[in-house]
Chains A and B, each alone.
Chain A
């Protein structure tokens, strides 16, 4: 086991994307620097030897001319640790250092030569070329060139080492940092997968795409958590709100059974039917909210003329509002066209009107509003206290806890769902133009243009 673990650890390390990327980019960078090193070395070396060769050719020309004029004197053909010159005349006699082997070839060459006794060898650059009256070989010690190249090598090694440590450290640190952030996201996701929807990555700042990703993830999880919470609340509320009419239905049926043979049975049965219908209505409303919430109908959006929607709603509901003893006015200016579901927008306004009729006293004024991308409704009734405004939009919520006001508390929840489906901003506020006793209520739905 102890043998396997380090390998396992390495493999785990290798599977960390950020660290692996850092390692790979470091290796690539160092490889490139090494190539540059080799390339530069070769170029500099060629350039240096080229210069030496030019000097040799110049010296060869000069020396040839002098030997031609004054003969192969010892002074001319001296040698030192830095240079040598050797002349072979037409008779094959060698003047100066070296022997006949030197003249086996001609042209430029790099040779190794040294003192066998002192056991050292130097690199020499030699030029062996014919001249009038013989062949002249001259050479120069490449010590200087080697020295320059060694310095170059040293400089490059230093650069390479510095670059290596810099990239290794920075790559490691950055990679480790990124890796830690990825691990945080990973941990959060693992917790979410296990069912803990309160888990968040919670990046400290929004600096780069990784933070962005984390923020998106948090938003998604938050939405998921809200949806789960809503679903849980909704099921609880369905159970609660359906229980009442079902209980009433049962009571009526019991009445009917008890009233068999008497005249009361008709009333009891009719009332039971009414209760059954209410159960079905509540159920339909819940299903409708669920369907709108699912967002499926967004695919079927078409351009909707808001003025036409308001016109249709006022024509349909105007007489209803009037018969209830209230007034319905239309205040439309500059309403334009938005992408949406016309039927649902009509239902949204219908629900708001229904809500206004239900919650305002007779004699109230209700106004349908239409502006550029906004539709809404205003009334001069008792309004809604600011603290309750958010909650009235939740399914099943009713301001009056008593059951005196009939009708499921789903109307405004559907309004909220339809607004959400359209990506609209839904706001409740006091109605500034209310002339009645109460602060009034103004509901605005700001649709995206």
Chain B
């Protein structure tokens, strides 16, 4: 992916850029919000990563200006401003995701991965049936069917499976699942995600004797019917 990173910290910036390059991305690292604004309007990026407190123009203002200039690239905020209000502000300004420092690099990679392959236009109609191999999830009739067998899922399990299916092949971290399935922006410290994933597995994998959800050690989960 072609990525644009705004980060003015002289240590974190190169560290992020190098890490992303090592993961196979093409990265432009800038330290000034105004330069980012120019770069984003001149070139097409697959995703843009913005710090919020930067010289010249802060990340939030840069994003607002970009959205006003019809730059549609998905944006991830990577910032030390971690209050709920900051997060809401960032998402309302047109941000697609929000990650607070300090962070694990795997978390950043996973979130960028989830961003990049999002449909470019919102116009595409949302599918009502999600599929992965021989598993079908009917969102309208609230039904989960595998190999012709209907599987009885609880509401939370259904939502968890839906989020995994929508992000097939992409790693979803614990924090991402907490946000997207449970709408929780805090870490409950108990093993909420692990427990529910394990319950889901016992219903959609165990009776069929195979693996759909892969655990990525130290990172999260990925639904991968091929694997």
* Chain B positions within 8 Å of A350 at CB level: 186, 188, 190
Q: Are A316 and B82 in contact (CB under 8 A)?
A: no
Q: Is B191 an interface residue (CB 8 A)?
A: yes
Q: Are B192 and A347 in contact (CB under 8 A)?
A: no
A276: nearest residue on chain B (CB-CB)?
B102
Chain B nearest CB: distance from A175 CB in Å? 51
User: With the chains together, A287 CA to B83 CA distance in Å?
Assistant: 8
* Chain B positions within 8 Å of A354 at CB level: 188-190
Q: A287-B83, A315-B155 are in contact. Are A320 and B184 (CB under 8 A)?
A: no
User: With the chains together, A168 CA to B130 CA distance in Å?
Assistant: 91
A350: nearest residue on chain B (CB-CB)?
B188
- A280, A287, A407: the one within 8 Å of B189 (CB): A407
Q: Are A291 and B102 in contact (CB under 8 A)?
A: no
Chain B residues touching A, majority SS: loop
* Chain A positions within 8 Å of B182 at CB level: 316
A contact residues, range:
20 to 34
A273: nearest residue on chain B (CB-CB)?
B104
User: With the chains together, A320 CA to B184 CA distance in Å?
Assistant: 16
Q: Is A288 an interface residue (CB 8 A)?
A: yes
Q: Is A281 an interface residue (CB 8 A)?
A: yes
Q: Are A323 and B83 in contact (CB under 8 A)?
A: no
* Chain A positions within 8 Å of B166 at CB level: none
Q: Are A287 and B82 in contact (CB under 8 A)?
A: yes
User: With the chains together, A316 CA to B160 CA distance in Å?
Assistant: 11
Interface string of A104-116 (1 = CB under 8 A from B): 0000000000000
Q: How many A-B residue pairs have CB under 8 A?
A: 55
Chain A nearest CB: distance from B185 CB in Å? 7
Q: Are A320 and B187 in contact (CB under 8 A)?
A: no
User: With the chains together, A346 CA to B190 CA distance in Å?
Assistant: 14
* Chain A positions within 8 Å of B85 at CB level: 296
User: With the chains together, A280 CA to B85 CA distance in Å?
Assistant: 19
User: With the chains together, A316 CA to B196 CA distance in Å?
Assistant: 8
How many residues of chain B have a CB within 8 Å of chain A?
Answer: 24
Q: Are A316 and B154 in contact (CB under 8 A)?
A: no
8 A Cβ contacts from A265-303 to B: 273, 276-277, 280-281, 284, 287-288, 291, 296-297
* Chain B positions within 8 Å of A346 at CB level: 184
A300: nearest residue on chain B (CB-CB)?
B85
User: With the chains together, A316 CA to B191 CA distance in Å?
Assistant: 10
User: With the chains together, A411 CA to B53 CA distance in Å?
Assistant: 30
8 A Cβ contacts from B45-99 to A: 82-85
Q: Are B199 and A319 in contact (CB under 8 A)?
A: yes
Q: Are B186 and A320 in contact (CB under 8 A)?
A: no
- A273, A284, A297, A323: the one within 8 Å of B195 (CB): A323
Q: A287-B82, A288-B186, A343-B185 are in contact. Are A317 and B192 (CB under 8 A)?
A: yes
Q: A276-B102, A323-B195 are in contact. Are A315 and B190 (CB under 8 A)?
A: no
Chain B nearest CB: distance from A95 CB in Å? 111
Chain B nearest CB: distance from A173 CB in Å? 55
A315: nearest residue on chain B (CB-CB)?
B156
Q: Are A353 and B156 in contact (CB under 8 A)?
A: no
Q: Is A413 an interface residue (CB 8 A)?
A: no
Q: Are B190 and A317 in contact (CB under 8 A)?
A: yes
User: With the chains together, A297 CA to B84 CA distance in Å?
Assistant: 10
* Chain B positions within 8 Å of A277 at CB level: 104
User: With the chains together, A70 CA to B182 CA distance in Å?
Assistant: 128
A351: nearest residue on chain B (CB-CB)?
B188
* Chain B positions within 8 Å of A280 at CB level: 102
Q: Is A357 an interface residue (CB 8 A)?
A: yes
Q: Are B102 and A320 in contact (CB under 8 A)?
A: no
A312: nearest residue on chain B (CB-CB)?
B182
8 A Cβ contacts from B141-166 to A: 154-156
User: With the chains together, A296 CA to B86 CA distance in Å?
Assistant: 13
Chain A nearest CB: distance from B24 CB in Å? 23
Q: A350-B188, A354-B189, A407-B189 are in contact. Are A316 and B83 (CB under 8 A)?
A: no
A406: nearest residue on chain B (CB-CB)?
B189
Most buried by B among A280, A319, A346, A353: A319
Interface string of A312-328 (1 = CB under 8 A from B): 00011101100100000
* Chain B positions within 8 Å of A316 at CB level: 156, 182, 184, 188, 192, 196
* Chain A positions within 8 Å of B184 at CB level: 316, 343, 346-347
User: With the chains together, A280 CA to B80 CA distance in Å?
Assistant: 11
List 10 A-B pairs, Cβ < 8 Å: A277-B104, A281-B187, A288-B186, A316-B184, A316-B192, A317-B188, A319-B199, A343-B84, A343-B184, A347-B184
Binding site for A on B (CB under 8 A): 82-85, 102, 104, 154-156, 182-192, 195-196, 198-199
Supplied contacts A316-B182, A353-B190, 18 more A-B pairs, CB within 8 Å? A273-B104, A284-B82, A288-B186, A296-B85, A315-B154, A315-B155, A316-B156, A316-B188, A316-B192, A320-B190, A320-B191, A323-B195, A346-B184, A347-B184, A350-B190, A354-B189, A354-B190, A407-B189
Binding site for B on A (CB under 8 A): 273, 276-277, 280-281, 284, 287-288, 291, 296-297, 315-317, 319-320, 323, 343, 346-347, 350, 353-354, 357, 407
Task: Pick the 8 closest A-B CB pairs, nearest first.
Answer: A319-B195, A320-B195, A350-B188, A320-B190, A280-B102, A323-B195, A354-B190, A315-B156
